[in-house]
């Protein structure tokens, strides 16, 4: 949301709030600085849901975005819609042995990355507490994501800046007996 989207007049009292206006000017300046400096992002899990929606918003705001996902057909569909503003990389984060290679491919194409959003995760209903089901959730939501965090943190440390955002669920605070491993993390 831009500072210009805020009302400059209090509609309830019909009075102008000068300190509010002053604060908005400062926000506009900071947003302008951000738009000029932060232009490249990677979204892990960008083929659907929050990740895809965020990728579309960033592209609409002038960012170049790299997205990863398991489903190649969705990656290609998104690339076709976005043309030059998006890079795609097939990447199943449960395949830890080649995760660094996949991430390096995107990172090297972008040269510098200002923002990484990890929006990858799975949930499976599992009333029977089948270990295969639980393990798949753990491989994605714990091991795979931890590997991505480790890689990105080392890249940000080397380049001297970067923002790492992890999107998670409130399920870890509430729990759910039908998908226990999802609720733990």
Domains of the chain by residue range: 16-184
Q: Could you report the per-residue pLDDT of 45-96, keeping only the tens digit for each?
A: 888 889 999 999 999 899 999 999 989 888 888 888 877 789 989 988 889 8
64: helix, strand or coil: strand
CA 5 from chain center: how many Å?
24
Is 148 in contact with 44 (CB distance < 8 Å)?
yes
Kindly indicate the confidence band of residue 44, based on its pLDDT and cuts at 50, 70 and 90.
Answer: very high
Q: Which CATH number, 3.40.50.720, 3.40.50.12280, 3.40.190.80, 3.10.20.440, labels domain 16-184?
A: 3.40.50.720
The larger pLDDT score, comparing residue 3 to residue 92, is at 92
> Helices H, strands E: what count in the chain?
8, 7
Burial class (CB in 10 A: 0-12, 13-18, 19+), 42: buried
Taking the CA atoms of residue 35, residue 39, residue 44 and residue 49 in that order, the dihedral angle to the nearest 10 degrees is 40
Mean of the per-residue pLDDT values of the chain: 78
Q: Give the mean pLDDT of 118-134.
A: 84
């Amino acid at each position: 949301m831009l500072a210009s989207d805020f009302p400059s007049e209090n509609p309830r009292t019909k009075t102008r709030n000068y300190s509010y206006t002053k604060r908005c000017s400062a926000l506009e300046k900071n947003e302008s600085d951000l738009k000029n400096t932060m232009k490249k992002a990677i979204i892990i899990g960008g083929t659907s849901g929050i990740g895809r929606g965020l990728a579309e918003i960033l592209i609409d705001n002038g960012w170049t975005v790299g997205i990863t996902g398991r489903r190649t057909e969705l990656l290609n569909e998104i690339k076709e819609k976005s043309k030059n503003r998006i890079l795609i990389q097939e990447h199943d984060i449960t395949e830890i042995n080649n995760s660094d290679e996949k991430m390096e491919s995107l990172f090297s194409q972008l040269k510098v990355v200002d923002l990484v959003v990890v929006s990858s995760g799975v949930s499976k209903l599992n009333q029977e507490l089948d270990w295969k089901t639980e393990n798949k959730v753990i491989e994605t939501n714990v091991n795979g994501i931890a590997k991505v965090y480790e890689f990105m943190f080392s890249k940000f440390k080397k380049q001297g800046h970067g923002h790492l955002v992890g999107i998670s669920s409130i399920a870890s605070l509430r729990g759910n007996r039908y998908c226990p491993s999802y609720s733990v993390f």
